[in-house]
């Protein structure tokens, strides 16, 4: 399921419920079918080329020049599938220039390259480089540059087990209302990497009720949608300790949207060590059990390692 289908899916959830006085209401069969479809697409997205099960490395660039390849003499050690010495990443204030050693086959869009400026993932045209079964691009996080490495033949793609979920429950599909800040705020959010923060924009908080009890979550802007990183009392027991992710469609003119916690899921860092996931902030940790969405059982996951 691609991003267009995901968006269409969530819009469909809202459209089906539009005939009722509460937009959160939907026929049980329709709701279950849509959640099942989303779950099927979830595993597809994890296994896609731009998913998170093929990640094989994350290297932060700290010096002006960093050599890379599979040999131990390099500053950045790639998996053994790579050439012994591939080249050099040259870091400057403008970004990262890649210089390739003679005789090494490295490609951009299928064309061999010897040097190339690597536009990072915060730009309109991030550059992805390929070498054998590997691919990499430069990421930028709060002024820091890193190289994210993928292996399209990573063993995790075959060994990853089916995802597990709480039973689908309509009680965890609730109507929420966005209480907007006077002006959008830039929020300081911690990530799983110590010292590396995330600074999303927040339009305000979404208030909602569960079993008659009031709650609120600070929302982050994500394109035309709202994005939440939330924690609850199941974290560390049944769900990922740092919290879970959830998307919702942009509120209507009355500020109303739908939070379907059946669609909440573990962040990428639940499955590998090479992600820069935000963690739930103290204000977004709900003091209740959210018994809906994706489970996390680390003991059932295969050991994650590079393709050595």
Structural domain total, the chain? 2
Q: Is there a single domain that holds both residue 235 and residue 139?
A: no
Q: Is residue 305 part of a domain?
A: no
Which of 124, 153, 182 is the C-terminal boundary of a domain? 153
Q: Is residue 307 part of a domain?
A: no
Return d(Cα 141, Cα 96) in angstroms, integer: 14
In contact, 59 and 107? CB cutoff 8 Å: no
Q: Is there a single domain that holds both residue 131 and residue 192?
A: no
Q: Is residue 117 part of a domain?
A: yes
Q: Is there a single domain that holds both residue 295 and residue 182?
A: yes
Q: Is there a single domain that holds both residue 149 and residue 91?
A: yes
| CB neighbour burial string for 96-121, b if at least 16 within 10 angstroms, e if fewer | bebebeeebebeeeeeebeeeebbbe
Q: Is there a single domain that holds both residue 184 and residue 247?
A: yes
Q: Is there a single domain that holds both residue 33 and residue 79?
A: no
Which of 105, 125, 153 is the C-terminal boundary of a domain? 153
Which of 153, 173, 195 is the C-terminal boundary of a domain? 153
Q: Is there a single domain that holds both residue 81 and residue 176?
A: no
Write down the pLDDT at residue 304. 53
Domain of 63: which CATH number? 2.60.200.20
Q: Is residue 189 part of a domain?
A: yes
Q: Is residue 308 part of a domain?
A: no
Q: Is there a single domain that holds both residue 46 and residue 179?
A: yes
Q: Is there a single domain that holds both residue 21 and residue 120?
A: no
Q: Is residue 306 part of a domain?
A: no
Write down the pLDDT at residue 33. 96
Element (H, E) at 117: strand 115-118
Element (H, E) at 162: none
Q: Residue 13: what are its φ and ψ, rounded to 5°?
A: -60, -40
Each residue's pLDDT, cut to its tens digit, for the chain (308 residues) gives 344 444 444 444 444 444 444 677 889 899 999 999 999 999 999 999 999 999 999 999 998 999 999 999 999 999 999 999 999 999 998 999 999 999 999 999 999 999 999 999 999 999 999 999 999 999 999 889 999 999 999 999 999 999 999 999 999 999 999 999 999 999 999 999 888 899 999 999 999 999 999 999 999 999 999 999 999 999 999 999 999 999 999 999 999 999 999 999 999 999 999 999 999 999 999 999 999 999 998 876 765 544 44
Q: Is there a single domain that holds both residue 175 and residue 36?
A: yes
Q: Is residue 26 part of a domain?
A: yes
Length of the chain counted residue by residue: 308
Residue appearing with tokens 């996931």: 277
Return d(Cα 118, Cα 33) in angstroms, integer: 42
Residue 139 lies in domain: 55-153
Q: Is there a single domain that holds both residue 179 and residue 267?
A: yes
Sequence-separated (6 or more) residues with CB below 8 Å from residue 155: 302, 307
Q: Is residue 180 part of a domain?
A: yes
* pTM (predicted TM-score): 0.87
Q: Is there a single domain that holds both residue 258 and residue 198?
A: yes
Write down the pLDDT at residue 253. 94
């Amino acid at each position: 399921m691609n991003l267009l289908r995901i968006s269409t899916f969530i819009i469909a959830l809202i459209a089906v419920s539009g005939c009722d006085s509460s937009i959160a209401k939907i026929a049980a069969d329709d709701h279950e079918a849509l959640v099942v479809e989303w779950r099927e697409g979830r595993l597809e997205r994890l296994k896609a080329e731009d998913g998170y099960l093929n990640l094989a490395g994350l290297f932060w660039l700290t010096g002006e020049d960093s050599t890379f390849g599979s040999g131990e003499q390099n500053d950045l050690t790639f998996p053994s599938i790579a050439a012994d010495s591939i080249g050099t990443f040259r870091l400057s204030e403008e970004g990262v220039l890649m210089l390739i050693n003679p005789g090494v086959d490295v490609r951009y869009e299928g064309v061999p390259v010897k040097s190339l400026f690597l536009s990072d993932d915060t730009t309109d045209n991030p550059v992805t480089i390929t070498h054998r079964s590997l691919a990499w691009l430069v990421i930028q996080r709060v002024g820091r540059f890193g190289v994210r490495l993928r292996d399209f033949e990573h063993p995790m793609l075959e060994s990853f087990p089916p995802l597990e979920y709480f039973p689908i429950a309509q009680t965890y599909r609730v109507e929420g209302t966005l209480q907007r800040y006077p002006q959008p705020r830039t929020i300081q959010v911690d990530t799983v990497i110590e010292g590396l923060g995330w600074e999303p924009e927040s339009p305000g908080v979404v208030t909602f009720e569960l079993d008659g009890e009031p709650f609120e979550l600070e929302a982050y802007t994500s394109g035309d949608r709202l994005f939440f990183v939330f924690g609850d009392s199941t974290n560390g027991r049944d769900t990922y300790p740092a919290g879970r992710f959830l998307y919702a469609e942009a509120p209507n003119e009355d500020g109303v949207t739908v939070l379907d916690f059946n669609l909440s899921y573990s962040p990428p860092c639940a499955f590998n060590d090479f992600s820069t996931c935000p963690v739930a902030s103290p204000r977004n940790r709900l003091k209740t059990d959210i018994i809906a969405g994706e489970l996390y059982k680390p003991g059932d996951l295969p050991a994650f390692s590079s393709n050595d």
